[in-house]
């Protein structure tokens, strides 16, 4: 079933029930829409896009912060038969340009936070013919989103869509650090709805609190459980512990997905006396789950101390598998905290050696998965696709082992990725940037364990003979990078390389981490 049909079904069956709530505590703003509003907004946008000659297979980029409009925009694009292309709101202007050029997007829908970046690159976006602006003070060269909704009818656009049709492109990065668009079909997206609902048992009475960015498969695919169950969700703009608890209390939230740093911040605030749980009504909060990075067992032990009646789950996934769920712990398996769990609903998983043969129990190998969420391909990149898709199996690049009960434990990553609070950093990007400095001979970036963020990037700098740099000088240079990619510490040392010229990062980790 095309995922758009789920929205139309909810609009028909529950037209006046609330579907989405946006809460922005910093300005005390609350907005909500019903399922019928959601459907009509998506239909109006679809009809507008079609009037601009968008057609099946075209690409439409989305670049907005989390907001009430995000999901109606996404579904409006899908209803035209075009592909939605969500972009990371942390991307620099150059990264945005590269992504748009890679997929040759014909339209972009963007918010006020990105007005300046889009203006910087607008002249170089040769494929983009339509700019739609979601916000006040619309630029002169863009169409206003609200105005378009008022101009076009709310009737269904009437485009026939099948399960096998392409639906969306999500950017990831490989070991080279170059973003690669992942092609997902309607079948992939619908399978994520089923997997999420089966894992977390959403029903009509649930209310899901969505905090992570919607451009990412993780947040949206968790929300898909609300879509398939016809239950409401709250989009929270802000991550302060007080705001999370206030929202859960006032909106009667039952399910919350947290990243490790946010859970730690909540616990720290409780233990410092900055938050008194007696001030909040949280009895209805039945499930807390975490994903996007390894979860310390000590964190869950602390959490259960203050929230003993809550269920807990963790999810493992990747965008190539349509987000979370190909492996999950399961709410009944808290005795296995530390494990990422078992193969998810409708999924299979194996741990294999370099030849693709299963390894014995307890032995480390590469985790591979197979199921309905496996991507169609890396868009226009058969070579990269063939490296990770083999006989229907997705090779994750993650090293893992399995215990005697079949539970899977992550050990390390083949891919040289640093995960900072759920965001992926590809060291080669930062290394290449650092090497542009005239006084730097070589540079290596590695992840240092961090209690709050999981890990943070640190830079090992080898200066040219006779040149002197300070940590402050390097960190100041790195202000040109997106904040999450900036090294937190600079070490001046020789960068070791093997005979083939590859950086020997295990040596650096052993020495500095």
Pair (24, 107) in one structural domain: yes
Pair (98, 112) in one structural domain: yes
Pair (284, 141) in one structural domain: yes
Pair (448, 476) in one structural domain: yes
Pair (402, 495) in one structural domain: no
Query: Quick check: is 343 in a domain?
Result: no
**The tokens of 67 are what?**
């907001």
Pair (305, 372) in one structural domain: no
- Return the percent helix, strand and coil in the chain, to nearest 5: 35, 30, 35
Per-residue pLDDT of the chain (513 residues), as tens digits, is: 899 999 999 999 999 999 999 999 999 999 999 999 999 999 999 999 999 999 999 999 999 999 999 999 999 999 999 999 999 988 889 989 999 999 999 999 999 999 999 999 999 999 999 999 999 999 989 999 999 999 999 999 999 999 999 999 999 854 345 679 999 999 999 999 999 999 999 999 999 999 999 998 888 999 999 999 999 999 999 999 999 999 999 999 999 999 888 898 999 999 999 999 999 999 999 999 987 767 878 889 999 999 999 999 999 999 999 999 999 999 999 899 989 999 999 999 999 999 999 999 999 899 999 999 999 999 999 999 999 999 999 999 988 999 999 999 987 667 677 888 888 787 878 988 998 898 998 899 999 999 888 999 999 999 988 899 999 999 999 999 999 999 999 999 999 886 545 688 888 988 998
Query: Quick check: is 341 in a domain?
Result: no
Q: Check the CA dihedral 184-186-191-193 and report its sign.
A: positive
DSSP string, 62-125: EE--S-TTHHHHHHHHHHTT-EEEE--TT--HHHHHHHHHHHT-SEEEE-GGGHHHHHHHGGG-
Q: What is the spatial distance between Cα 321 and Cα 343, in angstroms, rounded to a whole number?
A: 12
pTM of the predicted model as reported, rounded to 2 decimal places: 0.86
Pair (156, 143) in one structural domain: yes
Domain C-terminal end among 316, 336, 356: 336
Q: Which domain holds residue 189?
A: 3-336
pLDDT at 173: 53
**The tokens of 299 are what?**
């964190």
Pair (332, 397) in one structural domain: no
Pair (431, 398) in one structural domain: no
pLDDT at 264: 86
Pair (142, 242) in one structural domain: yes
Q: What is the CATH number of the domain that holds 400?
A: 2.30.38.10
Pair (209, 72) in one structural domain: yes
């Amino acid at each position: 079933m095309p995922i758009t049909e789920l929205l139309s079904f909810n609009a028909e069956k529950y037209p006046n029930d609330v579907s989405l709530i946006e809460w922005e505590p910093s300005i005390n703003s609350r907005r909500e829409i019903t399922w019928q509003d959601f459907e009509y907004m998506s239909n109006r946008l679809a009809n507008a896009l079609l009037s601009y000659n968008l057609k099946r297979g075209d690409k439409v980029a989305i670049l907005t912060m989390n907001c009430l409009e995000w999901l109606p925009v996404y579904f409006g694009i899908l209803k035209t038969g075009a592909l939605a292309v969500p972009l990371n709101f942390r991307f620099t202007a150059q990264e945005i340009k590269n992504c748009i050029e890679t997929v040759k997007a014909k339209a972009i829908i963007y918010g006020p936070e990105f007005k300046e970046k889009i203006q910087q690159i607008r002249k170089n976006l040769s494929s983009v013919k339509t700019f739609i602006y979601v916000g006040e003070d619309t630029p002169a060269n863009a169409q206003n989103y609200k105005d378009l909704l008022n101009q076009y009818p709310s009737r269904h656009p009437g485009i026939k869509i099948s399960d096998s049709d392409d639906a969306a492109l999500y950017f990831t990065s490989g070991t080279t650090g170059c973003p690669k668009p992942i092609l997902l079909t309607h079948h992939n997206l619908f399978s994520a709805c089923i997997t999420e609902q089966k894992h977390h048992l959403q029903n009509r009475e649930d209310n899901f609190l969505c905090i992570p960015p919607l451009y990412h498969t993780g947040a949206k695919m968790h929300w898909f459980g609300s879509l398939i169950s016809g239950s409401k969700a709250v989009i929270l703009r802000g991550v302060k512990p007080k705001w999370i608890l206030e929202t859960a209390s006032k909106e009667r939230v039952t399910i919350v997905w947290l990243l490790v740093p946010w859970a730690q911040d909540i616990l720290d605030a409780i233990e410092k006396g900055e938050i008194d749980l007696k001030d909040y009504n949280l009895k209805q909060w039945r499930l807390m789950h975490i994903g996007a990075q390894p979860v310390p067992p000590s964190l869950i032990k602390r959490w259960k101390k203050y929230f003993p009646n809550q269920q807990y789950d963790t999810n493992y996934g990747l965008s190539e598998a349509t987000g979370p769920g190909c492996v999950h712990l399961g709410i009944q398996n808290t005795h296995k905290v530390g494990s990422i769990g078992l193969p998810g609903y409708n999924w299979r998983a194996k741990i294999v050696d370099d030849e693709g043969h299963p390894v014995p129990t307890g032995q480390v190998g590469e985790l591979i998965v197979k199921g309905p969420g496996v991507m169609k391909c890396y868009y226009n990149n058969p070579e990269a696709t063939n490296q990770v898709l083999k006989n229907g199996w997705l090779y994750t690049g993650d090293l893992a082992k399995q215990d005697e009960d079949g539970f899977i434990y992550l050990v390390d990553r083949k891919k040289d990725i640093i995960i900072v609070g759920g965001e992926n950093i590809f060291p080669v990007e930062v290394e290449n940037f650092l090497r542009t400095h005239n006084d730097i001979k070589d540079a290596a970036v590695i992840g240092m364990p961090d209690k709050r963020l999981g890990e943070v990037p640190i830079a090992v700098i080898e200066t040219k003979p006779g040149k002197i740099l300070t940590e402050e000088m390097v960190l100041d240079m790195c202000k040109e990078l997106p904040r999450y990619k900036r090294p937190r510490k600079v070490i001046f040392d020789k960068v070791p390389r093997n005979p083939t010229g590859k950086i020997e990062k295990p040596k650096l980790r052993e020495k500095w981490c």
